[in-house]
Amino acid sequence: MRDVGIGLIGSGFMGKAHALAFAAAATTFDLPIRPRYVVLADIDSAMASAAAARLGFARSTGDWRTLVADPAVELVDITAPNALHEEMALAAIAAGKHVYCEKPLAATAAAAERMARAARSAGRITQVGFNYLKNPIIALARSIIAKGEIGDVVGFRGIHAEGYMADPATPWSWRHDPAGGGGAIADLGSHIIAMARFLVGPIAALTAQMSTVVKRRPVARGSAETRPVAVDDQAQLLVRFASGATGTIEASWIAPGRTMQLAFEITGTQGSLAFTQERFNELQLYRAGGPAGRQGFTTITAGPEHDPYGAFCPAPGHQLGFNDLKTIEVRDLLLAIGGAGAGGPDFHEGWQIQRVVDAAILSARERRWIEID
Amino acid sequence: MRDVGIGLIGSGFMGKAHALAFAAAATTFDLPIRPRYVVLADIDSAMASAAAARLGFARSTGDWRTLVADPAVELVDITAPNALHEEMALAAIAAGKHVYCEKPLAATAAAAERMARAARSAGRITQVGFNYLKNPIIALARSIIAKGEIGDVVGFRGIHAEGYMADPATPWSWRHDPAGGGGAIADLGSHIIAMARFLVGPIAALTAQMSTVVKRRPVARGSAETRPVAVDDQAQLLVRFASGATGTIEASWIAPGRTMQLAFEITGTQGSLAFTQERFNELQLYRAGGPAGRQGFTTITAGPEHDPYGAFCPAPGHQLGFNDLKTIEVRDLLLAIGGAGAGGPDFHEGWQIQRVVDAAILSARERRWIEID
Amino acid sequence: MRDVGIGLIGSGFMGKAHALAFAAAATTFDLPIRPRYVVLADIDSAMASAAAARLGFARSTGDWRTLVADPAVELVDITAPNALHEEMALAAIAAGKHVYCEKPLAATAAAAERMARAARSAGRITQVGFNYLKNPIIALARSIIAKGEIGDVVGFRGIHAEGYMADPATPWSWRHDPAGGGGAIADLGSHIIAMARFLVGPIAALTAQMSTVVKRRPVARGSAETRPVAVDDQAQLLVRFASGATGTIEASWIAPGRTMQLAFEITGTQGSLAFTQERFNELQLYRAGGPAGRQGFTTITAGPEHDPYGAFCPAPGHQLGFNDLKTIEVRDLLLAIGGAGAGGPDFHEGWQIQRVVDAAILSARERRWIEID
Amino acid sequence: MRDVGIGLIGSGFMGKAHALAFAAAATTFDLPIRPRYVVLADIDSAMASAAAARLGFARSTGDWRTLVADPAVELVDITAPNALHEEMALAAIAAGKHVYCEKPLAATAAAAERMARAARSAGRITQVGFNYLKNPIIALARSIIAKGEIGDVVGFRGIHAEGYMADPATPWSWRHDPAGGGGAIADLGSHIIAMARFLVGPIAALTAQMSTVVKRRPVARGSAETRPVAVDDQAQLLVRFASGATGTIEASWIAPGRTMQLAFEITGTQGSLAFTQERFNELQLYRAGGPAGRQGFTTITAGPEHDPYGAFCPAPGHQLGFNDLKTIEVRDLLLAIGGAGAGGPDFHEGWQIQRVVDAAILSARERRWIEID
pLDDT, tens digit, 9 for 90 and up, residues C138-154: 999 999 999 999 999 99
- D252 part of a folded domain: yes
Domain annotation covers residue A360: yes
* pLDDT score, position A355: 97
* Structure-derived torsion over alpha carbons of residues C210, C213, C216, C220, reported in degrees to the nearest 10: -110
Query: For testing the chain B interface, which of C319, C320, C324, C325 should be mutated: the one with the most B CBs within 10 Å?
Result: C319
Q: Is residue D32 part of a domain?
A: yes
- Look at residue C123 and tell me whether its pLDDT is greater than 80: yes
pLDDT for position B347: 98
**Contact residues, chain C, for D247 at CB < 8 Å:** 236
Residues A227 and A288 reside in one and the same domain: yes
**A97 and A171 inside one domain:** no
**Interchain pair D300, B293: CB under 8 A:** yes
* Pair C180, C32 in one domain: no
pLDDT value at D54 more than 90: no
Same domain, B142 and B291: yes
In a domain, C371, yes or no: no
pLDDT value for C267: 98
Confidence tier at B1 by pLDDT (50, 70, 90): confident
Interface contact B293-D305, CB threshold 8 A = yes
Pair A136, A268 in one domain: yes
pLDDT digits (tens, 9 = 90+) for D170-186: 999 989 988 877 899 99
Number of domains present in the structure of chain B: 2
Is B292 close to D298, i.e. CB distance below 8 A?
A: no
- Give the per-residue pLDDT at B193: 98
* pLDDT for D81: 87
Task: Describe the strand order of the beta sheet including A33-41 as a list of residue ranges.
Answer: A59-61, A33-41, A2-9, A75-78, A98-101, A126-128
Average pLDDT, chain C: 96
Which H or E run contains A144?
helix A136-146
Do C184 and C302 reside in the same domain of the chain?
yes
State which of C105, C131, C157 marks the end of a domain: C131
Whole-angstrom distance, CA of residue C283 vs CA of residue C292: 22
Please state the rounded mean pLDDT for residues D3-11: 96
Q: Which residues does chain B have within 8 Å of residue A248's beta carbon, measured at their own beta carbons?
A: 236, 248, 250
Do D274 and D257 meet the contact criterion of CB atoms below 8 Å apart? no
Distance CA C191, CA C204 (A): 18
pTM (2 decimals)? 0.97
pLDDT by residue (tens digit) across A270-298?
999 999 999 999 999 999 998 999 999 99
In this prediction, residue D143 carries a pLDDT of 98
Same domain, B222 and B95: no
Helix (H, G, I), strand (E, B) or coil at D156: strand
Average pLDDT of chain A to the nearest whole number? 96
pLDDT greater than 90 at residue A181: no
Out of B131, B157, B183, pick the residue that ends a domain.
Answer: B131
Q: How far is C261 from chain D (nearest CA, A)?
A: 12
Interacting residues of D277 by C-beta distance below 8 A, sequence separation 6+: D132, D260, D261, D262, D263
| Predicted pLDDT at A328 | 98
Bridge partners of residue C218, in order along the sequence: C226
Is C27 in the same domain as C136? no
Residue B282 confidence (pLDDT) above 80: yes
Q: What is the CATH classification number for the domain harbouring A89?
A: 3.40.50.720
Yes or no, beta carbons of C27 and B279 under 8 Å apart: no
> Which residue range(s) make up the domain with C14?
2-131
Q: Find chain B residues with C-beta within 8 A of D295's C-beta.
A: 298, 300
Nearest to C52 by CA among C34, C40, C35: C40
How far is CA C101 from each of CA B357, C34, C83, C338, rounded to the nearest angstrom? 51, 19, 12, 18
Same domain, B114 and B151: no
CATH number at residue C341: 3.30.360.10
Q: What is the pLDDT of residue C238?
A: 98
**Interchain CB distance below 8 Å, B23 and C27:** yes
User: Residue A244 CB: number of other CB atoms within 10 A?
Assistant: 12
* The length of chain B, given as a count of residues: 373
* Residues B362 and B259 grouped into a single domain: yes
Mean pLDDT in chain B? Answer: 96
Q: Which pLDDT score is estimated for C27?
A: 85
Average pLDDT across chain D, whole number = 96
Across the interface, do D298 and B293 touch by the CB < 8 Å criterion? no
Stated length of chain D? 373
* CA diameter of chain C: 67
Sequence-distant (6+) residues with CB within 8 A of A120 are: A347, A348
A263 is a domain residue: yes
Is residue A373, in this structure, part of any structural domain at all? no
Q: What is the pLDDT of residue B289?
A: 92
List Cβ neighbours of C36 (8 Å cut-off, separation of 6 or more): C3, C4, C5, C6, C72
C179 confidence band (pLDDT: 50, 70, 90): confident
Q: What is the DSSP letter of D253?
A: S
A296 to chain B, closest Cα gap in Å = 6
Task: Give the Cα separation of B13 and D46 in Å (integer).
Answer: 74
- The percent of residues above 70 in pLDDT, for chain B, comes to 100
Q: Is residue D372 part of a domain?
A: no
User: Do residue B216 and residue B308 come from a single domain?
Assistant: yes
The answer to whether the Cβ–Cβ distance between B315 and C30 falls below 8 Å is no
What ipTM is given for this predicted complex?
A: 0.96
Residues A160 and A76 in one domain: no
Answer whether residue D35 shows pLDDT above 90.
yes
- Check: CB of residue B241 under 8 Å from CB of residue B201: yes
Compute the distance between CA of residue B353 and CA of residue B367 in angstroms, rounded to an integer. Answer: 21
Residue among A195, A185, A304 at smallest CA distance from A253: A185
Omega cis (within 30) before D104: yes
As a whole number of angstroms, the distance between CA D217 and CA D228 comes to 6
Q: Cβ separation of A300 and C301 shorter than 8 Å?
A: no
The yes-or-no verdict on residue A92 having pLDDT over 80 is yes
The reported pLDDT for the residue numbered C22 is 94
The model's confidence at residue D277, banded by pLDDT at 50, 70 and 90, is: very high
Could you say which of A238, A286, A296 has the minimum Cβ distance to residue B238? A238
Mean pLDDT, range D287-315, rounded to an integer: 96
Residues 6+ positions from A113 with CB-CB distance below 8 Å: A351
Q: How far away is chain B from the Cα of C230, in angstroms, using its nearest Cα?
A: 24
Tell me if B321 and C314 make a contact (CB, 8 A cut-off).
Answer: no
Secondary structure letter of residue C233 according to DSSP: S
Neighbouring chains of C at 3+ CB pairs under 8 Å are: A, B, D
Candidates B209, B211, B272; nearest CB to A257: B272
Q: Quick one: pLDDT band at residue A178, thresholds 50, 70, 90?
A: confident
Last residue of a domain, one of D98, D113, D131: D131
User: Does a structural domain hold residue B303?
Assistant: yes
Residue in B267, B296, B367 nearest the CB of A252: B267
Nearest Cβ partner of C298 from A140, A296, A303? Answer: A296
